[in-house]
Amino acid sequence: MQTLFPNRAHDVGIPDGLSVNSNSSVYTGNTSIYTGSNSSEDITTPESRYSWRPHVTLTFAQSIDAKIAGQGGKQLALSGKESLVMTHWIRTMHDAILVGIGTALNDDPQLNTRHLPAMTTVPGYEHKYHLPRPTILDVNLRLKPTCKLLKNYKAGTGRRPWIFASKPKNQNDLDEWWARKEALKTAGAKVYVVAATDGYISLSDFLKTLKTLGIRSLMVEGGAKIIQSFLRETHPGLDGKAIPIVDNIIITVAPKIVGADGVGYDCDLTTQLGQLNHIKTELFGRDTVMTFKFKND
Ligand SMILES: NC(=O)C1=CN([C@@H]2O[C@H](COP(=O)(O)OP(=O)(O)OC[C@H]3O[C@@H](n4cnc5c(N)ncnc54)[C@H](O)[C@@H]3O)[C@@H](O)[C@H]2O)C=CC1
Ligand SMILES: Nc1nc(O)c(N)c(N[C@@H]2O[C@H](COP(=O)(O)O)[C@@H](O)[C@H]2O)n1
């Protein structure tokens, strides 16, 4: 039996109904699988926009006071179980999934699809959903060789994580950097070296590299700095105009208040709002999930 591949973000965009076709929803605990886009409007992205990069979906969960984590970055269970299943379904739609090293160290995430219902009763194949490739932006190779992503890979329950790093400018730091690289490689990681400025990897370079590695769609899960960078960074279009490097944004809003001490993504969305089309707002349990798409030009 083969791994199930649902419709993919790079082929169909993000459907306007995240809860898939209304009579066979994977989110309700029903094991039927989404087989077609029920989009009523053109939500695909012009080939010209992402011939150089993968389709990019930015997604995160926030409280009603726009916080994504608690005081000091404490990981919060903002999403309820229904919207979590939706998030895991969206994971299956992408070739790769990204978090920054801040999130990788703080949350020790798994980035898999474990909240989806069993798809069959055949022993050993209950959970053969497509798993996105975990990717981490980690300039200084701070990821722990003991993290869950690497443990899952070693146990055969997760895909090999790809780390994107950058060589230190200071020669004195090079030996330690190589040692960390070797330790991560031994633990199973694949390390790609790309350009970085002031500790930040150029997202254009990162996306170009992903594309050359065969990644056609990327789900960006955060955290705060990564969200900011993806919303701020642009790329020159064919006419030289700055165009976004994100195609869709999916925001889960949980009916919770975190308070001023929490972590926000601190980004002036008003600069982007003019370019955003609202696609759909849906309720998942007590959470509201909004999908936006950047305008095509
Ligand atoms: N509610 C939600 O949906 C989510 C919440 N979070 C929360 O976010 C917090 C972590 O956020 P941050 O500390 O901001 O870490 P982050 O996960 O955004 O990673 C940022 C780090 O990545 C590296 N990096 C390399 N290139 C970069 C680039 N171009 N742009 C940005 N960063 C780049 C830098 O070292 C930077 O400090 C945690 O508290 C976590 O719980 C994380 C993901 C989703
Ligand atoms: N959708 C969503 N809702 C929340 O309430 C969250 N805290 C997050 N966080 C993101 O999911 C990652 C954890 O993934 P696993 O459960 O370990 O697979 C975490 O690192 C954040 O990226 N997301």
Q: With cut-offs at 50, 70 and 90, classify the pLDDT of residue 6.
A: low
Domain with residue 225: its CATH number is: 3.40.430.10
> Does the beta carbon of 68 lie inside 6 Å of ligand 1?
yes
DSSP states of 164-208: EE---SSGGGHHHHHHHHHHHHHTT-EEEE--EETTEE-HHHHHH
Residue 155 placed within a domain:
yes
Q: With cut-offs at 50, 70 and 90, classify the pLDDT of residue 12.
A: low
Residue 32: its H or E element: none
Residue 253 placed within a domain:
yes
Atom number, ligand 2, closest to the C-alpha of residue 107: 20
Q: How far is the CA of 141 from the centre of ligand 1 (A)?
A: 14
Atom number, ligand 1, closest to the C-alpha of residue 140: 35
- Position 125 scores a pLDDT of 75
The interface pTM score, or ipTM, of the predicted complex is 0.99
Q: How far is the CA of 101 from the centre of ligand 1 (A)?
A: 6
Residue 53 placed within a domain:
yes
| Coil, strand or helix at 158 | coil
| Bridge partner list, 188 | none
Residues 6 or more apart in contact with residue 23 via CB below 8 angstroms: none
Look at the chain and report how many structural domains it folds into: 1
Residues 6 or more apart in contact with residue 274 via CB below 8 angstroms: none
Atom number, ligand 1, closest to the C-alpha of residue 229: 30
Among protein residues, the one with the nearest Cα to ligand 2's atom 1 is 61
What residue type is 216 in one-letter code?
R
Residue 2 placed within a domain:
no
- Position 226 scores a pLDDT of 98
How large is the greatest C-alpha to C-alpha distance in the chain, in angstroms? 61
- What's the pLDDT tens digit per position in 46-84? 545 558 999 999 999 999 999 999 999 999 999 999 999
Predicted TM-score (pTM) of the model is: 0.90
Residue 48 placed within a domain:
yes
Residue 143 has pLDDT above 50, yes or no: yes
Among protein residues, the one with the nearest Cα to ligand 2's atom 17 is 109
Residues 6 or more apart in contact with residue 282 via CB below 8 angstroms: 17, 18, 19, 288, 289, 291
Q: Which residues line ligand 2 (CB under 6 A)?
A: 61, 75-79, 84, 87, 99, 103, 107, 109-112, 221-222, 252
- What's the pLDDT tens digit per position in 268-283? 777 767 788 899 999 9
Residue 34 has pLDDT above 60, yes or no: no
Residue 120 placed within a domain:
no
Ligand nearest to the Cα of 114, by number: 2
- Position 39 scores a pLDDT of 36
The residue with greater pLDDT, 294 or 251, is 251
CA distance linking residue 244 with residue 269, whole number of Å? 13
- Position 254 scores a pLDDT of 98
> Does the beta carbon of 92 lie inside 6 Å of ligand 1?
no
Q: How far is the CA of 109 from the centre of ligand 2 (A)?
A: 7
- Position 36 scores a pLDDT of 33
Q: With cut-offs at 50, 70 and 90, classify the pLDDT of residue 117.
A: confident
For 142, the domain range is 15-115+128-294
- Position 41 scores a pLDDT of 36
- CA distances to 44, 105, 142, 148 from 179, rounded to whole Å, are 44, 19, 11, 20
Residue 122 placed within a domain:
no
Mean pLDDT of 192-199: 94
Residue 207 placed within a domain:
yes
Residue 206 has pLDDT above 90, yes or no: yes
Mean pLDDT of 95-120: 94
- Position 38 scores a pLDDT of 35
Mean pLDDT of 124-148: 93
CA distance linking residue 188 with residue 150, whole number of Å? 6
Mean pLDDT of the chain: 85
CA distance linking residue 161 with residue 153, whole number of Å? 8
Atom number, ligand 1, closest to the C-alpha of residue 76: 41
| Coil, strand or helix at 272 | helix
